Amino acid sequence: MREAKVARKTRETNIEAEINLDGSGKFDINTGIGFFNHMFETLSRHSLIDITLNASGDINVDYHHLVEDCGIVLGQAIKQALKDKAGIRRFGNAILPLDEALCEAVMDISGRPHLETNLTEYHGSVGEFNFELGEVFFSGFASEGYTVHINVRQGKNLHHILESAFKSFARALRSAVEIDDRMEGRIPSTKDHIED
């Protein structure tokens, strides 16, 4: 089974996560931030990765630290579950609509941390959740060795845009971590190695 448990504790946050890459999208998410819980549940359901996440932190100050660290922990857990990355597809992409919003996500499990996104062109909040925190989450995830591109093609409603971004990210992630039988257990790189 491709499973992992990761714990991260700092002065600002305390996070524990368990994942199963070969799950069915079951989730138990507790971050103390309602909208963020919703996004994480969406990520789990559409990636088919089982995720249990318990996170607490200084959300009385700002949501930034907790959201970023949850992205980091998810990236670490997936990396741990993938081990040497043998047999995976490595690349994934998806374009998903949510009403008027349309977002595209492309991923390379490359070992090279990089995020490109135009989410920063949008401003405002979904309830108490500042829209810029979406980019903060994806940046935290990418920092663990993933190349991620997220492009908002169109959209007006900030809730719809973020949810479309998370759903497309989830489907790209699902494709990237899947086992490709044609790879016959090889590492998907001409170097026969992908950085951790």
- Burial track 74-98 (b if 16+ CB lie within 10 A, e otherwise): bbbbbbbbbeebebbbbebebebeb
Residue 105 forms part of a structural domain: yes
pLDDT of residue 1: 86
Strands of the sheet containing 50-57, edge to edge, are 3-9, 13-20, 50-57, 27-30
Give the CATH number for residue 11.
3.30.230.40
Residue 196 forms part of a structural domain: no
Residue 141 forms part of a structural domain: yes
- Antiparallel, parallel or unpaired: β 129-130 and 125-126: antiparallel
Write out the two tokens for 9: 């504790």
Terminal-to-terminal C-alpha distance of the chain: 19
Question: In this structure, how many other beta carbons lie within 10 angstroms of the beta carbon of residue 180?
Answer: 14
pLDDT of residue 150: 98
pLDDT digits (tens, 9 = 90+) for 57-95: 999 999 999 999 999 999 999 999 999 999 999 999 999
8 A C-beta contact, residue 19 and residue 50: yes
Residue 113 forms part of a structural domain: yes
Residue 194 forms part of a structural domain: no
pTM passes above 0.85 = yes
Sites in the chain below the pLDDT cut of 50: none
Q: How many domains does the chain have?
A: 1
- Amino acid sitting at position 121: E
pLDDT digits (tens, 9 = 90+) for 104-117: 999 999 999 999 99
Residue 192 forms part of a structural domain: no
Distance of CA 133 to the CA centre of its chain: 13
Residue 189 forms part of a structural domain: no
Q: Which domain holds residue 24?
A: 3-183
pLDDT of residue 194: 81
Residue 93 forms part of a structural domain: yes
